[in-house]
Structure 1
Amino acid sequence: MDAVASTTYGRVRGTVEDGVAVFRGVPYAAAPVGSLRFAPPVAPASWDGERDATAYGPAAPQIGLDGVAAEIFAPAFPSGEDCLSLNVWTPDLGGAGLPVLVWIHGGAFLFGGSGDDLLDRGAFARSGVVVVSVNYRLGLDGFLHVDGDPAGGNYGTLDQLAALRWVQENIAAFGGDPGRVTVGGESAGATAVCALLAAPAARGLFARAIAQSAYPEPLLSQASGAIMAREVARGLGLADGDLEGVRALREREPERVIAVVKSLFEQAATRDAERFGDEIAALMNPFMPLVGGAVVPRRPLEAARAGELADVDLLIGTNRDEFRLVFGLGMMAIDDEIVGAIFEATFPGQGAEALALYAETRPDASPVDLLAALETDRSYRVGSTLLADAHAAQRPGSTFFYRFSWESAAFDGAIGAAHAVELPFVFDALDTPMARALTGDGAPQALADDVHRAWVAFVVSGNPGHAGLPDWPAYDATTRPVLELAGEHRLLRDPDGRELALWVAPAAEAA
């Protein structure tokens, strides 16, 4: 059965699937090629008649993944240059005033796409929410530092802004309310959401935000961007700052450029601060939103502490064992022998004491388990907590923090409540191949019911609480209430606060 809607550029024809109208591959900007490469997005050309919107558009050009990581996270459809498209799921094409969730996919700003089997399950639409998922430029195409560019290299962020403006102009034609937009994402998608919170051009484009397993602190500085621009040029055999040379090679030899980007990603994972600088070494990620310039002038944490973050409701949180997915996928080689050295490098002069503190509440943990806890805090929990502290101070009563702690059976139970394991529960899609790869067998539907319902409640009202959960108070920086989502939900107050203090106190003093 067909479904037809009108956009500002022309009519689109999608399908109706199990009562949900679905439109795929709808362009929100022109293909970023030629003179539009390393430039802000521009509007797509209009069309006559009805444009077919039954298939996903290409994912952005990206590095390839290997092994199990590819099976879980690689897009299920081809990548290509004409990648600036979005998809819409709506429960009522003829309705009006429905809440809207705009979903920004994760993938380290290097891989991924706007369509997967979790989204295709359509659970949010069946729960009364219009869903929009967005492709945006990745890696070099999305976040190359260019000297003198007022955009600051944030072409991927500009793509997301263009998609949000498309939503403001068009979502009413799909039954949605442009005044009830929530922007959400996981991992890199959540970090993109945090950048949008600090982006002046995003003001008024959304009323709520969801950040699942974000790494918002620090985003990369322009100085770090310049380091990566230099490394890209060297990898391609070009002079530093030769943008036209990069552009020309990107046009003629895209595979070669992608190979250089992948190599730099792998090298950044070695945390070579002497080569890449402290920020890239800490994040192990060479391409992501850049602070400075007109798009993201200040770090999200700085903007929040100055009272300049977007005036929106915020649902934010992390998974208990985020980093164990990295070890489970074999993306970082590690052994017990160097764990103490990493703790000492992280907390100079008190590494042994910090290691003992992490071990105190994990009596059966191996050294690698303790390292995973350390890296979970470094990469995800600390930045999310600091941002929640500042957002709650700027906008009291509107911040809600969760910790997802259900332990996956995947990877022979080795990953626990790892990065991305919450996604099948959020999207109520436990019966999909991607979900089974992340959760293993036996994932509890009751937990998916509770988590999905909480996210829907937040999108609808700004408060994720519901009758199936314990009381979930708004977050504040003094008591730090965190709702643990697991087999048995419970409210925690400043969970693992002594460990967090190792990180937060020095950061607060430096602010």
Structure 2
Amino acid sequence: MSVLVSTTYGQVEGTVEDGIAVFRGIPYAQAPVGPLRFRPPVAPEGWTGVRPALAYGAAAPQPRPDGAVGDIFSPGHPTGEDCLSVNVWTPDPGASGLPVLVWIHGGAFLFGSSADDLIERGAFARSGVVTVTINYRLGVDGYLFVEDDPDGGDYGTLDQIAALRWVRANISAFGGDPDRVTVAGESAGGTAVCALLAAPAAQGLFARAIAQSAYPDPLLSQESGRIIARELKERLAALAPDLDSVGEVRELHPEYVLQAVKELFEDVANRDAARYGPEIAAQMNPLMPVVGGAVLPERPLEVARDGRLADVDLLIGTNRDEFRIVFALGMMSVADELVDALFEATFPGRGAEALKVYAQDRPDASKVDLLAALETDRSYRVGSTRLADAHAAQRPGSTFCYRFTWPSTAFGGAIGAAHSVELPFVFDALGTPMAEALTGPDAPQRLADDIHRAWVAFIGTGDPNHAGLPEWPAYDGDTRPVLELSPDHRVVANPGGDELALWSDTAASGA
């Protein structure tokens, strides 16, 4: 059964699937090609008649990650240049005032898409939430720093803002309330949410924010952007010596750019601070939002500490074992004998003490497990905690923090409560192929019920509490109450506080 909706650019035709109206591949901007490459997104041209919105739009051009990561997270549909589109799931396009979720996918700002079998379930729409997922430019196209361009390094962020503007202008036609928009994401998507909290052009486009497993501290400086731009130019010169610029190679040999970017990501993982500087070496991500231009004049934490973040409710948290997936899946390997040196490099003069602190609550942990805990904090928990502290000080009573602690049985149980394992629970999509790849079989449905209901409650009201949870208190920076999400939910004051205290005078990601 088909269903029609009128947008500001023309009518679109979707389908009704199990009682949910679904619209796929609606453009929110023109294809960023030719003169529109490395430029802010441009509004789409309108159309006459009815435009079919039956198939997903292309995912942004991207390399395929190696191994299990690529198997789990690479798009299951084509990539392409004309990638700036949204998908909408709505329980009733004839309704009005429904809460809205805008989901920004993760993938290190390098891979991923607006559609996977978790999203395809449509669980939020079945729970009364109009759901929008977006594609945005990735890698070089989205985050290459371009000298003398005030938007350089942030085209992907501008895409996300353009998608939010499309939602603001059109979501009422799908039954949603433009004043009840929650922007949410995980990993790079959660980091994008943190950037949007500080982006002047995004203010007023959403009322609530959810940042899952974000790495907001720091985003890249312009100097780091310059380092990566030079590095890419040198790598591409070796592949295409007859061309003078990254832009020329991108137009004529896009496969060279994807190859160079993939190799660059692999090289940055070696943390060569002499080559890339301490910021990139610590963050291990060479292409992500750049701070200092028109889009992001300041770092989110700087804005937060001055009390100037977006005036929105915030749900933020991390997974207990974020980084274990990196070692368990072979994305990075470290010999046991090097772990002591890595702790010492992180905490100069205090490395042995810090290692003991991390070991005291993990009596059976291997050296690599302890390093994974350190990297979990460096990459995710410290920055997220600092942002929560600042947001709670700016807007008391509207910050809620979680820590996901259920250990996955996938990969022989080696990954624990790893990065991304919470996603099938948030989307109430246990049993799908992507979910089972992350959780293993027989993951607890009651936990999915509880987590999904909490997200729905927050999206609707700004408060994630519901009858299936213990009372979840609003967060404050003094007592730091955090709800541990597991089959036995419990509120813990400042979990891992002795470990967090080690970072009090240390920059989480080296800036």
Cross-structure match for 2:154: 154
In 1, are the aligned partners of 2:243 and 2:249 still within 8 Å (CA)?
Answer: no
Aligned length: 508
Cross-structure match for 2:127: 127
Cross-structure match for 2:176: 176
Paired with 1:27 and 1:410, the residues of 2 have a C-alpha distance of 37
Q: Cα distance, 1:506 vs. partner?
A: 4.1
In the superposition, the TM-score normalised over structure 2's length comes to 0.98
The letter for the 2-side match of 1:179 is D
Cross-structure match for 2:118: 118
Paired with 1:396 and 1:244, the residues of 2 have a C-alpha distance of 52
Q: Alignment identity in percent?
A: 72
Cross-structure match for 2:327: 327
Q: Which runs of 5+ in 2 are unaligned?
A: none
* Secondary structure, counterpart of 1:391 in structure 2: helix
Cross-structure match for 2:49: 49
* Secondary structure, counterpart of 2:280 in structure 1: helix
Change (3 A) 1:20 1:244: farther
Cross-structure match for 1:106: 106
Q: What does the per-residue CA deviation read over 1:176-225, in whole Å, with 9 as the maximum and x for residues that have no partner?
A: 00000000000000000000000000010000000000000000001100
Hey, which bits of structure 1, 4+ residues long, moved more than 6 A? Answer: none
* Secondary structure, counterpart of 1:236 in structure 2: helix
Cross-structure match for 1:89: 89
* Secondary structure, counterpart of 1:226 in structure 2: helix
Cross-structure match for 1:460: 460
Cross-structure match for 1:259: 259
Q: Cα distance, 1:308 vs. partner?
A: 1.0
In 2, are the aligned partners of 1:314 and 1:399 still within 8 Å (CA)?
Answer: yes
Cross-structure match for 1:449: 449
* Secondary structure, counterpart of 2:167 in structure 1: helix
Cross-structure match for 2:144: 144
Paired with 1:223 and 1:96, the residues of 2 have a C-alpha distance of 47
Question: Where in structure 2 are the equivalents of 1:371-386 lying within 5 Å?
Answer: 371-386=371-386
Is the counterpart of residue 214 in structure 1 residue 214 in structure 2? yes
Cross-structure match for 2:277: 277
Change (3 A) 1:244 1:10: farther
Paired with 2:331 and 2:66, the residues of 1 have a C-alpha distance of 10
Cross-structure match for 2:73: 73
Is the counterpart of residue 307 in structure 1 residue 273 in structure 2? no
Paired with 2:26 and 2:320, the residues of 1 have a C-alpha distance of 37
The letter for the 2-side match of 1:286 is P
Cross-structure match for 1:234: 234
Cross-structure match for 2:203: 203
Q: Which runs of 5+ in 1 are unaligned?
A: none
RMSD, aligned α-carbons: 1.5
Paired with 1:348 and 1:243, the residues of 2 have a C-alpha distance of 45
* Secondary structure, counterpart of 2:434 in structure 1: helix
Paired with 1:243 and 1:490, the residues of 2 have a C-alpha distance of 59
* Secondary structure, counterpart of 1:133 in structure 2: strand
Change (3 A) 1:224 1:10: same
Q: Cα distance, 1:66 vs. partner?
A: 2.0
* Secondary structure, counterpart of 1:277 in structure 2: helix
Q: What does the per-residue CA deviation read over 1:150-187, in whole Å, with 9 as the maximum and x for residues that have no partner?
A: 11320000000000000000000000000000000000
Paired with 1:226 and 1:105, the residues of 2 have a C-alpha distance of 26
In 2, are the aligned partners of 1:3 and 1:14 still within 8 Å (CA)?
Answer: yes
Paired with 2:244 and 2:89, the residues of 1 have a C-alpha distance of 40
Is the counterpart of residue 36 in structure 1 residue 42 in structure 2? no
In 1, are the aligned partners of 2:431 and 2:441 still within 8 Å (CA)?
Answer: no
Larger mean Cα displacement after TM superposition, 44-53 or 209-218: 44-53
The letter for the 2-side match of 1:152 is G
Q: Cα distance, 1:243 vs. partner?
A: 11
The letter for the 2-side match of 1:211 is A
In the superposition, the TM-score normalised over structure 1's length comes to 0.98
Paired with 2:330 and 2:442, the residues of 1 have a C-alpha distance of 24
Larger mean Cα displacement after TM superposition, 275-284 or 328-337: 328-337
Paired with 1:197 and 1:51, the residues of 2 have a C-alpha distance of 33
* Secondary structure, counterpart of 2:128 in structure 1: coil
* Secondary structure, counterpart of 2:479 in structure 1: coil
Cross-structure match for 1:434: 434
The letter for the 1-side match of 2:246 is V
Paired with 2:263 and 2:207, the residues of 1 have a C-alpha distance of 39
